[in-house]
Structure 1
Amino acid sequence: MTIGFVFECGPQGADKLVCEYLASQLKPGENFISRTLDNKLRLLEEAPSVVKKLLTEGCDRVLIVWDLRPAWPDKKDKPCRAKERQTLLDGLANEGLQGAPVFLVCVEQELESWLLASDHAISAFLSTDAHPYQADRVRKPDRVRNPKAVMNNHFKAARGARYEDYVHAVKVLKAAAVDWRRLRRSESFARFEAKL
């Protein structure tokens, strides 16, 4: 099976790296084709045509993945999953893709919500032999208001450094065996897993 992805990040962005890594763990042996559209505005406008191309290139299903609250939100409008979902559904309908195997996955808050669900991986990544670090367990990661800031606080406390999503996100997840039960505390991750 070939699974396509459309992301709102750059070609080596954190969303792409993390989702591809998790997908490869959940679906070993499957093929993945990813397209990146840099930001949410471009994703909302261009994803339907990109999805159509992915389906014609042989993808069996396509997931459109975006953050509800991206790093640079539009200050005029409060993020609204229902509005963004409808925009994508309308675009897919305009491309003649009603009923196609296309699935929308809006990450509640930001991708870092998934990392916060994996507190054991944060602890493993930030710990050294001389300085163990213990990240707090987050039972409802999708409700953390600014998960990127929380990750930055972990990095500052443990290493005195900044968290950079495109550098650190996938490394954090790879620092420990994936604990699927913990990750599924994030409803958006559970949806991602179900739609794969």
Structure 2
Amino acid sequence: MARWAPDTRERLRAAALELFEERGFAGATVPDIVARAGLTERTFFRHFSDKREVFFGDDEIPALATAMLAAAPAGPPPFAVVWGGLHVLAVERFEPRREQMRSARRLIRDEPALRERDLQKQDALREAIAAGCLARGVDALTARVVAGITVDLLQTALDEWLGDDDVAPLTAHLARVRERMRAVLADPVE
């Protein structure tokens, strides 16, 4: 198969996840990954900055959030824009890769360096959403609240969805977590 095949990134990701499952994260090297995928190290580094990025996709999600907020019409409130974006991500990016993501989540949970990177990626998404809201003219406090709620909502829904043997789509988990957040926030403060 040609090195420039359109599925190269996914071949690398699949090979890496197989090796991480077999040997653990530390036990699998980039040369092992490319050998399994039938590609070169140079090709690997065109797609990922290091083997941790197999899980996190470099800066794809924050970049998508930035582009989505910039392209959205001026009228809708910021959370409405982000909510629509979460649905697009759920359907187009996450739901087709559920089993792969389940495996990745287990590995991330077991590896401190990956947990740290996961938190960094969540923070990068939070910052991208806040910056996108600010660029839309939203005040700083609202931008931070929208960004924080969005990332927590997404992470909670992903954890529920990946830990659930039910076939409910991620979008259903997003809606359920959003409703739970709404109920919790509606409780009177004592």
TM-score (norm 2): 0.31
Larger radius of gyration between Structure 1 and Structure 2: 2
Bigger proportion of residues as strand: 1
Considering Cα pairs closer than 8 Å and 6+ residues apart, tell me whether 1 or 2 has the greater RCO.
Answer: 1
Bigger proportion of residues as helix: 2
TM-score (norm 1): 0.30
